[in-house]
Amino acid sequence: MNTTAIAATPPRLTHYLPGLVLAVLIGLLAMLLGHYAPLIGAPVIGIVLGIIVRNLLSPGEHYSPGIAFTGKYVLQWSIIALGFGLSLSQVAHTGLQSLAVTMVTMSMAFLSAWALGRWLGVHDKLKVLIGVGTAICGGSAIAAITPIIRPDDHDTAFAISTIFLFNVVAVLLFPLLGHLMHMSDAGFGLWAGTAINDTSSVVAAGFSYSKAAGDYATIVKLTRATLIIPVSLILAFTVAAREKRKLKQSGDIGNFSLARIFPWFILWFLVASAARTAGLIPVAIQPAIHVGAELLIVVALTAIGLSANLRKMASTGIRPILLGLGVWISVAVSSLLVQLAMGQL
């Protein structure tokens, strides 16, 4: 019997089916609950439900392959699907005025995540997750870079939970502070769009201030979202260079392959966005694509929750939360200071 051939045989679909079905069922429940709790959002509900099921019901080992498959590959498919709903040219055109503030707040997010994370002793991958999530677009940005830097699932869950915590605080606090500072609609919209993470929270805070502020904040937020593309590519090449350096030091450089490391799903995301920008996606099917993309990302994040270990998360302590707080404050303050300097408040 050729044992090598048997070992090389790829697993059948039935090998992945139990974990995949479990993630889909919980994800559908999260979508339903997210409809009634839009402030929280289905992605956060999905990852929380996944954590609860993983740590209270302890699904058997036969669920593990499907959960791992869903957390990796369905996550990549969800990012590609999001590209079909993102018109890069429209967002870049309408959000051009916010670009200066966005670049400053992004720089502050990465700088403060690096400096404060180093001071707090938070390890590199969790620093990157929290920094990117705060700088760009919360859970979506974290989901986009997860396949690139390959963190532990409990780190991903911790980062998303931390980002969500400050989203809730921002939705409640920002409109009050905006009125106290007598900010204009455009000024508040720019502040909310650059300093609040997830789109749903930006919309909630913006429209609670005024309709004009909500419209402007949404445009600014979409502009921020497009920046996940260059950030992901920079991270991808950084990871590739680091792996190449390690292999060179160990004398095993022959095993290095950029094609193996490169996140091809980002290339397909760009293709999808280009198709949307060029008008190749019929308007009639765009809502269905949007719902499908949301379902995929909720299912994928649910699978990450199903892989998360609460004991490991608890052992991390309060330091990542303090890191998230520090990065969030630096972004919010820098956005206000840049607007003040530019006379846009």
Q: How many helices (H) and strands (E) does the chain have?
A: 19, 0
- Say what the pLDDT of residue 59 is: 86
* Residue ranges covered by each domain of the chain: 16-309+321-342
Report the candidate in 75, 79, 82 with the shortest Cα–Cα distance to residue 20.
75
Q: Extract the residue ranges of the chain whose pLDDT is less than 50.
A: 1-9, 94, 256, 261
Greatest C-alpha distance within the chain? 79
* Six-digit token string for 48: 């929380």
CB 308 within 8 A of CB 153: yes
- Say what the pLDDT of residue 8 is: 44
Question: Which residue spans within the chain are E strands per DSSP?
Answer: none
* DSSP per position, 285-314: GHHHHHHHHHHHHHHHHHHHHHH--HHHHH
Q: Identify the three-state secondary structure at position 28.
A: helix
First to last CA, the chain: 75
Q: Identify the three-state secondary structure at position 260.
A: helix
- Say what the pLDDT of residue 45 is: 83
- Say what the pLDDT of residue 198 is: 72
- In angstroms, rounded to a whole number, what is the distance separating the alpha carbons of residues 18 and 66? 6
In Å, what is the CA distance from 285 to each residue of 38, 123, 289, 290? Answer: 23, 43, 6, 9
- In angstroms, rounded to a whole number, what is the distance separating the alpha carbons of residues 181 and 159? 31
- In angstroms, rounded to a whole number, what is the distance separating the alpha carbons of residues 95 and 137? 15
- In angstroms, rounded to a whole number, what is the distance separating the alpha carbons of residues 68 and 147? 12
Q: Identify the three-state secondary structure at position 66.
A: helix
Contacts of 229 (CB under 8 A, 6+ apart): 266, 269, 270
- Classify residue 21 as left (phi > 0), alpha (psi -120 to 50) or beta: alpha
- Residue identified by tokens 């419209």 is 215
> Exposed/middle/buried for 28, CB within 10 Å: 0-12, 13-18, 19+?
middle
Task: Find the helix or strand (DSSP H, E) in which 186 lies.
Answer: helix 185-195
CB 318 within 8 A of CB 120: no
> Exposed/middle/buried for 239, CB within 10 Å: 0-12, 13-18, 19+?
middle
Phi first, then psi: what are they for 262, rounded to 5°?
-60, 130
Q: What is the pTM of this model?
A: 0.62
Give the model confidence (pLDDT) of 130-185 as tens digits.
888 888 877 777 877 887 788 877 788 778 777 777 877 887 788 889 989 989 88
- Say what the pLDDT of residue 23 is: 93
CB 167 within 8 A of CB 303: no
- Say what the pLDDT of residue 225 is: 73
- In angstroms, rounded to a whole number, what is the distance separating the alpha carbons of residues 286 and 20? 26
- In angstroms, rounded to a whole number, what is the distance separating the alpha carbons of residues 339 and 268? 36
Let me know how long the chain is. Answer: 345
- Say what the pLDDT of residue 3 is: 41
